Chains A and B, each alone.
Chain A
Amino acid sequence: MTVLIVVLLIAGLLFFVGGTVGILRFPDFYTRQHAAGKMDSLGLMLVTLALALGSLHSYSLEEIFTAIKIMLIMLFIFLASPTATHAIVDAGLRAGLRPWTKEQREE
């Protein structure tokens, strides 16, 4: 069990690192949202899953409730993160920010 939790935590942290590197390296607002929106939500889901498993020691009712509560947080992230990404990208396009394209790079 502990091994599984550690693996999940490390995988989650790796995705966070990847997301951060992506935010720093990608050329424009929209491509950065790909890194921020996707990587952070998966990273967070893995970490919360690890926390939910980690809170189970003796499988008493209370601990199971705690684990389910953490899973509810995960569900919320799962719903809220893409919605936020969608909203901010749409706002950017409405405000007239043009997406970076390959041609721009060759200029």
Chain B
Amino acid sequence: MLNLESHSRHHTGAGRGRQGTSAHRAGAFWSLFVGLMVLWVLLSGKLDAFHLGVGVFCCLLVAALCTDLFADHFDLRKVIRTLYGHLSYLPWLMWQIVVANLHVFKLALHPKMYDKLDPHLVRFHTRLQGPYAQTSFAQSITLTPGTITVRVLPDGVFIVHAVDGKSGDLSALRDMEARVARTFGES
């Protein structure tokens, strides 16, 4: 439960290295509280005073304990901008996933599959900076056309396993990278 929550709160990559001020701390605390509370109401499904009261207590406690995890690089505007960016990115990604699946589906059922397959490893240097942008990009690569991110090296080098000649196409990866950059406000 907490994992999901922290993930959605977490998309604030680029502000690393800045010290959390008290305003940052307050912002992080209340954003975390509101997010947890929404999740609480969703999962409990009960709106009477007792359940809401217990929820407020628990969420305050968890938010107080966990604020330190985000306070250093928390920026609510950036979180909202990133979530907003996902509105246009996610539908595109979904469509890409469907295309990718049809591709692998065809490969799996192809009678001459072994002629089609040509697995190889590709090195790819990304210009994405933030850890969340890089993570999101790696996940997207894994989910889409015939490619799996094998390893992400600290300096932004991705090692990608492509299943056939078409899949390791660098221009497709560049296109996706540009979209992720736009989503995370890095372009």
Contact = CB atoms under 8 A, between A and B. Distances in A.
Given A22-B104, A76-B4, A34 B163 contact: yes
Contacts of A34: 104, 146, 148, 161, 163
A79 B139 contact: yes
A42 B114 contact: no
Contacts of B149: 82, 86
Contacts of A31: 117, 119, 163
A43 to B, nearest CB: 8
B87 interface: no
Interface stretch (A2-10, A51-59, A65-73): A65-73
B105 A39 contact: yes
Interface residues of B, number: 32
B167 to A, nearest CB: 9
A62 to B, nearest CB: 6
B2 interface: no
Given A15-B105, A38-B104, A68-B42, A30 B143 contact: no
Contacts of A65: 42, 45
A82 B109 contact: no
B137 to A, nearest CB: 11
B108 interface: yes
A99 B139 contact: no
Interface in A73-107: 75-76, 79, 81-83, 85-86, 89-90, 93, 99-102, 105
A18 B119 contact: no
B60 interface: no
Given A42-B97, A89-B148, A18 B142 contact: no
